[in-house]
Structure 1
Amino acid sequence: MRVSKEELIAVLAQFNPWWRGEPIADLPDWQRAASRELNRWINHPPVHRAILLSGARQVGKTTLLQQQIDALLKQSVPAANILYATFDHPVLKLAGIEAVLEAWREREPRVDGSEYLFLDEAQFIRDWGTWVKHQIDFNKQRRIVFTGSAMPLVEADQESGVGRWHTIRLTTLSFYEYLQIKQLQLPALPPLKSLTELFDWTPPQFYRAQEIAVPYVGHFHEYLIRGGFPQTAQVESITQAQRLLREDIIDKALKRDMTALFGVRRILDLEHTFLYLCMHDGGLLNITDLSSNLEVKRPTAQHFIELLEACHLIYRLPPFGYGKDVLKGRFKIYLADAAIAPAVLLKGKSIIDDPAALGVATETAVFKHLFARYYSQNVRFTYWHGKKDREVDLVAEIGGQLIPFEVKYRAQHTGARELKGLIELCEQKKIGRGYVVTKSLDDFGLMTGLPQTGDTASQIMRLPAPLLCYWMGASELNQPEFND
């Protein structure tokens, strides 16, 4: 559809105040850990590629783009060479990318140097994959950053996108980022670059960390029910935060995005599927039971699951193994954020007094933190199922190295009797180190009295969940080579 150039320029001028010499309004001081990787790819890209910033609704993608634009302006990049455009705006969506670029250059003639294009909600650009491919192949002076629902973007044009863009995944806030945004004054925990450092700690170091971490526990529980979205972290009451999460984030993702991106018409069935997953967060997906309960056909239910994952509302973990073991096994489902289930199911703060629900929320948070910390290093996450229904919640695998995590978020101290699955996996796969995620701060340290078989004895570290999530979020800022 044809849009007048005057109207197009007027819209772009609103989104690009730096063209008028004005600063970006309401830019927060805090930055996501992903900003370091994004900044590196914008300023010193290892190869010439576009950058895809992917993530769920309201995780801060647009803010990240604006912060990068602000940084470029402070580096004296000419304002005329920086364009921001969001293609969920009806005028820009109707005009199309080429008309937007023409209007930009009519309003702001090019200055010598690189051009920087920041394109929000790029899935609404017609034939976006072909356009990005052409830009990367033939226009070396343009650096392109685009956002949107990453999975549909990648899957829709995967062949043309090979080698054309680098993907940066943006999860919901880590516990560390949450504390930074809240600007809470808490005693500083000892820095930890790698969890393996804990195996060299002395008893006084464990005792000292326990003492310092006491005020962190209450904030961790509030984080689990308030949510890891920047907006929900900053509103005053938890009730308001949960309403915002339910109505402004989840409802729009289900009802607007699913229709716009995938043409879903059976929104009620999709919503029921999501509610079912909220009630089974952290559990094995029984697609037959889901289909029967919701009265939908199995292929339809399977399609809905794939769409929810595509829009970053859930994660799916396959069972550990390869080939037939995976094909025959059931997926494990985690929600994108621990606060989603309490918000959607209208549970409010009640999960704090429900040990089972609190344990599920903690396991969801632990997985999200491990995923956010290591996804860029192509870590494969699975769960393990052994003999006599013994299981291990999470197994991180990279380069043949296995690192298991078992979540036991309960008041009782954790002993070998509760860890038969973890011990069996370590013995079977000759794993040197494993972790059990605990609740009590004094349930912290290297386990003793474990059964020893074979030539190599495994070491298992008990690690309280608030500390694990804090350190995973803090170490994400540094991103050293993979090390558990």
Structure 2
Amino acid sequence: MIASSAELIAVLRQYNPWWSGGRFQDLPTWRRAAFREVNDWLKDPPAGRALLLSGARQIGKTTLLLQAIDVLLDQGVPPTNILYATFDHPLLKLIGLDGLLRLWREFEPAREGVEYLFLDEIQATKDWQVWLKHQVDFEKRRRIAVTGSATPLETEGLESGVGRWHTIRLATLSFYEYLQIRNDPVPQLPAVSTFVDLFEKSPSWFARIGEDSRPLTALFYEYLLRGGFPQSALVKSIPMAQKLLREDIVDKVLKRDMTALFGVRRVLELEQTFLYLCLHDGGLLDMQTLCKNLEVKKPTAVNFINLLEATHLIYRLLPFGYGKEILRAKAKVYLADAAIAPGVLLKGKGLVEDADELGKAVETAFFKHVFTRYYQRSISFSYWRGGKKDQEVDIIADVGGRLIPFEVKYKGSNVGSGELKGVVEFCREHKVRRAYVITKDAADFGVLRLAGGEIEVLKIPAHLACYWLGRSELEATELQEIDA
């Protein structure tokens, strides 16, 4: 043993101050929308499952666990029945999961009642999935919550782990959460739990709310520049926020995690691949062009793309449809947060002045909000291209066979029917009667009727769409559908 038991328990006590009557200091009192799910699991785990909280680094997974521990302590759970550990610490990683439990119980005897284990970055330990399966199957008095920054938490050992954990996928802060965590002054706006309600509003209501929402535009631009990572969101200087974002992603994820978790040795080529995706955020991924430009072989590039998705840095959308042709088609790639590209590419505030790049960032931000709000429903997302003129719809949500198209048109002051031919063609082809268009101007807000009134399109400014999606996620007591 490299370290003695005394040295190890000293480390563990630092992570568990409640054993000695203390608490973690400066823990945020404000809670993210995902905390509701964590709290529900604390009260009543579904079928006795463990909790898996997955997501990229630096997005607040640890804070959620510590807030959950705070709730348990307030409820009178014996402090020594609560264990927190992070396997980012080299000594804790060294002793492993069983060694950790032996150490805990050697120095802190169990009390009556449920035992709670909160384990950060569990993917760094050996055979974690077998251990977790055993705990869930045979240690019925324990409730275990684990976090990880890589999808292999969900896919490794899937056969042995099926039904053993409940997954919460944590994304970066929504625009609404960003405003809350920064305590920025915002206009008083009505709550909207589902966009379908807006189809019934009057033109005067749209005009009034659009005008009231104008102060959100500048805050939305700052959100696109700072990003939805809590640490970077709270930094006063936008250049410093982007620097933190760049260091966390490039240095910690690409250079450290990829090597430690996946054995990546060609880190420079991986970094170049990620930079390529930053330059083409929200675009179609042409693997042949990528390989030619970066001078990498296709299997290597495909592996890199898979790893970037596994570490929650990108989302991939396949084209709408079914069959082998769809699987072979080009994927559409979104970064996990709109601020990643300007941060990594050192664009500073120039993003806001570049209409094309700003439009890409808005599309990325909007997709993240829609995906985050509704992923619990196992909604599938795709994009659509069709027609003789190669028309496109940016995002198609499939809600149990009911299709909902979203098109982002973040240019100009008034999106008209001439710019929505792709939306009309998709709706006609698939018998969809309602669609959504994300616009730029606060005044470009209302219902547009197309195709002789057969198709209703809700035009909604991006800052309002993201604000309401984040707010409804935070305030909802149960999931609402996008459309009726």
Partner of 1:410: 411
Letter in 2 for 1:416: S
In terms of mean alpha carbon deviation, does 145-154 or 422-431 score higher? 145-154
Partner of 2:462: 465
Whole-Å separation in 1 of the counterparts to 2:249 and 2:84:
23
Whole-Å separation in 1 of the counterparts to 2:234 and 2:157:
36
Partner of 1:46: 46
Q: In the alignment, is the contact (CA less than 8 A) between 2:54 and 2:169 conserved in 1? A: yes
Whole-Å separation in 2 of the counterparts to 1:87 and 1:99:
12
Q: In the alignment, is the contact (CA less than 8 A) between 1:384 and 1:395 conserved in 2? A: yes
What is the deviation of 1:438?
0.1
SS in 1 for 2:284: coil
Partner of 1:263: 263
Whole-Å separation in 2 of the counterparts to 1:113 and 1:205:
54
Whole-Å separation in 2 of the counterparts to 1:14 and 1:228:
29
Partner of 2:322: 322
Whole-Å separation in 1 of the counterparts to 2:232 and 2:10:
32
Partner of 2:67: 67
Q: In the alignment, is the contact (CA less than 8 A) between 1:403 and 1:431 conserved in 2? A: yes
Q: In the alignment, is the contact (CA less than 8 A) between 1:119 and 1:147 conserved in 2? A: yes
Q: In the alignment, is the contact (CA less than 8 A) between 2:80 and 2:110 conserved in 1? A: yes
Whole-Å separation in 2 of the counterparts to 1:45 and 1:60:
21
Letter in 2 for 1:356: D
Deviations along 1:441-466, whole A, 9 cap, x unmatched? 11000013x223xxx81210000000
What is the deviation of 1:203?
1.8
Q: In the alignment, is the contact (CA less than 8 A) between 1:314 and 1:334 conserved in 2? A: yes
**Ranges of 4+ aligned residues in structure 1 off by more than 3 Å:** none
Partner of 2:472: 475
Whole-Å separation in 1 of the counterparts to 2:172 and 2:250:
13
SS in 1 for 2:47: coil
Aligned positions of 1:274-353 closer than 5 A? 274-353=274-353
TM-score with structure 2 length normalisation?
0.98
Report the count of equivalent residues: 480
SS in 2 for 1:447: strand
Deviations along 1:430-484, whole A, 9 cap, x unmatched? 1121000000011000013x223xxx81210000000000000011121424233
Letter in 2 for 1:415: G
Matched, 1:79 2:79: yes
Aligned positions of 1:229-268 closer than 5 A? 229-268=229-268
Deviations along 1:350-378, whole A, 9 cap, x unmatched? 01111000000000000000000000100
Whole-Å separation in 1 of the counterparts to 2:212 and 2:156:
48
Whole-Å separation in 1 of the counterparts to 2:358 and 2:461:
14
Partner of 2:381: 381
Partner of 1:24: 24
What is the deviation of 1:186?
1.6
Partner of 1:434: 435
Whole-Å separation in 2 of the counterparts to 1:14 and 1:378:
39
Q: In the alignment, is the contact (CA less than 8 A) between 2:174 and 2:228 conserved in 1? A: yes
Whole-Å separation in 1 of the counterparts to 2:128 and 2:414:
54
Letter in 1 for 2:224: L
Whole-Å separation in 2 of the counterparts to 1:215 and 1:46:
42
Matched, 1:96 2:96: yes
Whole-Å separation in 1 of the counterparts to 2:324 and 2:155:
25
Partner of 2:399: 398
Partner of 1:14: 14
Partner of 2:204: 204
SS in 1 for 2:52: strand
What is the deviation of 1:188?
1.7
Partner of 1:129: 129
What is the deviation of 1:392?
0.2
Whole-Å separation in 2 of the counterparts to 1:66 and 1:193:
29
What is the deviation of 1:2?
5.7
Deviations along 1:45-84, whole A, 9 cap, x unmatched? 2311011000001000001100000011001111010000
Q: In the alignment, is the contact (CA less than 8 A) between 2:194 and 2:480 conserved in 1? A: no
Deviations along 1:2-44, whole A, 9 cap, x unmatched? 6422121111100000001012111012211100011101212
TM-score with structure 1 length normalisation?
0.98
Aligned positions of 1:364-379 closer than 5 A? 364-379=364-379
In terms of mean alpha carbon deviation, does 308-317 or 206-215 score higher? 206-215
Deviations along 1:141-160, whole A, 9 cap, x unmatched? 10000001241212222111
SS in 2 for 1:441: coil
Letter in 2 for 1:173: L
SS in 2 for 1:405: strand
Whole-Å separation in 2 of the counterparts to 1:342 and 1:35:
29
Letter in 2 for 1:286: D
What is the deviation of 1:94?
0.6
Whole-Å separation in 1 of the counterparts to 2:290 and 2:279:
11
Partner of 1:142: 142
SS in 1 for 2:151: helix
Whole-Å separation in 1 of the counterparts to 2:187 and 2:168:
32
Deviations along 1:70-123, whole A, 9 cap, x unmatched? 011001111010000001101101111111111111221111100000000101
Matched, 1:219 2:219: yes
What runs of 5+ residues in structure 2 fail to find an aligned partner?
A: none
SS in 1 for 2:213: helix
What is the deviation of 1:325?
3.5
In terms of mean alpha carbon deviation, does 111-120 or 143-152 score higher? 143-152
Q: In the alignment, is the contact (CA less than 8 A) between 1:447 and 1:462 conserved in 2? A: yes
Aligned-residue identity in percent: 60
What runs of 5+ residues in structure 1 fail to find an aligned partner?
A: none
Whole-Å separation in 1 of the counterparts to 2:439 and 2:155:
38
